[in-house]
Amino acid sequence: MRTKVGIVGAGPAGLLLSHLLHLRGIESVVLEKRSREYCERRVRAGVLEQGTVDVLNEAGVGERMRREGLPHHGIELRYGGAGHRIPFEKLIPGRSITVYGQQEVVKDLIAARLAAGGEIHFEVPDVALHDLTGSPYITFQGERLDCDVIAGCDGFHGVSRPAVPEGELTFFEREYPFAWLGILARVKPSAEELIYARTERGFALHSMRSPEVSRFYLQVPPDEQVENWPDDRIWAELKARLETVPGFTLETGEILEKGVTPMRSFVTEPMQYGRLYLAGDAAHIVPPTGAKGLNLAVADVRVLTQALDHWYRTGSTELLDAYSATCLKRVWRAQHFSWWMTTLLHTFDSDDAYGRRLQTSYLDYVTSSDAAATTLAENYVGLPW
């Protein structure tokens, strides 16, 4: 087998890269170890930046997103018994977010690739990368796929990043002393926009996936077991952390899924080695507080598509050589924003009265100063390309 771009991973990064390359006449093959059903059902991120929405629309895969996605023009910061809205439409005119589940983006991209005759191989075991600084190729299941370049889009635990020889990459990371217990519930959202709540009991997030399905998160200890959280306990704790302003009542209902997500920050430098280019979670992880993971993946593959297109059209490797440096500018900005949102809203050491006072002081500043609120809004909706 031979192709121009071998893509490892059929998540949003790999699928979108394959589709964007197809639109430019560049062939690719996508290899994925999981089943199609798993990829299309795995619930992950749900907040799309303005730039991500624009890319999906420009790529011709945004029809269902425009029909079913939920545009939001603000978020609420809830603390100290009051809610404070950050109005995107006032602070960043013309830019907003869209709530549309990552699994829905994956469904749209798979359908588009298959409709165009794209090659996506699911349930592919034993993927390995070879000769990354020469003539790269991928082996799997007794097969060999030769390619001009390889795109590692297979996530934090994938095979792409470990294929780079030890010492060639530098890792920057931070683990947080808590995790998120997340649930998906068949219940109408109790608010029209996302609510980020800081309380002495810990952080809580009220989100949504559709007019009938809501998404919630609770700050829990890093080693928490989901078995310790029966449905009644989850709803009781969500009420305690969200029903802190007059007149707000949290709707409850059937819980469809629940799971515990560790919180970490991670960056690989550089994001390339030889003819291997890392994108998305294979290169960087952010805590989900800033809603940047999926959006960074889209930004990465947008840059990589432009670089590959330039190389195939002109023979120049200028943009490919600059891929890592170009992506890392946005990556580190998103890392800082995600770290800042996380430290601003979560409960850390219960004895750290000084730290809690600092959090409250900065929340007061963000919710009373247009300058500070604009900084939050600009980063949240996504910096321009």
pLDDT in tens, 22-39: 999 999 999 999 999 999
**Which tokens hold the place of 247?**
């007149």
Closest by CA position to 54, among listed 71, 40, 42: 71
Three-state DSSP state, 89: helix
Strand, helix or coil for residue 103: helix
Provide Rg for the chain, Cα atoms: 21
pLDDT of residue 283: 98
* Tokens encoding 81: 């018994």
Q: Would you call 312 a catalytic residue per the annotation?
A: no
Closest to 202 in 3D by CA, of 216, 225, 219: 219
Which 8-state DSSP code applies to residue 33? S
Which among 196, 217, 277, 323 is annotated as catalytic? 196
Q: State residue 94's pLDDT score.
A: 94
The question of whether 288 is a catalytic residue gets the answer yes
C-alpha 188: how far from chain center: 24
Burial class of residue 136, CB neighbours in 10 A (0-12, 13-18, 19+) = buried
Q: Residues 176, 288, 323, 346: which is the catalytic one?
A: 288
Q: State how far Cα 148 lies from the chain centre.
A: 28
Cα first-last separation, the chain: 36
d(CA 323, CA 301): 10
With vertex at residue 268, the alpha carbon angle to CA 313 and CA 99, rounded to the nearest 5 degrees, is: 80
Active site annotation includes 292: yes
Respond yes or no: is residue 206 known to be catalytic.
no
pLDDT along the chain (385 residues), means of 10: 97 98 98 96 88 97 97 97 97 96 96 96 97 97 96 97 98 96 97 97 96 96 96 98 97 96 96 98 96 97 98 98 98 98 92 91 98 98 93
Q: What is the pLDDT of residue 349?
A: 82
Q: How far is CA 180 from the centre of its chain?
A: 15
- Tell me the per-residue pLDDT of 86-108, one tens digit each, with 9 for 90 and over: 999 999 999 999 999 999 999 99
Q: Which of 19, 33, 72, 206 is catalytic?
A: 72
Gap between the Cα atoms of 266 and 260, Å rounded: 18
Angle between helices 323-345 and 353-368 (to 10 degrees): 110
Strands, sheet with 97-99, edge to edge from the N-terminal-most edge strand: 47-48, 97-99, 70-72
Give the single-character DSSP code of 289.
Answer: G
Instruction: Name residue, tokens 């952010």.
Output: 286
pTM: 0.96
Listed residue (39, 14, 51) closest to 29, CA to CA: 14
Look up residue 191 and give its DSSP letter. Answer: S
Catalytic residue among 100, 217, 273, 380: 380
Type of residue numbered 212:
E
Instruction: Please state, as a whole number, how many other Cβ atoms lie within 10 Å of the Cβ of residue 268.
Output: 24
The superfamily in CATH containing domain 2-54+98-173+264-341 is FAD/NAD(P)-binding domain (3.50.50.60)
| Residue 42 confidence (pLDDT) | 85
Catalytic residue (one of 73, 107, 292, 346): 292
Query: Which residues lie across from 175 on neighbouring strands?
Result: 264
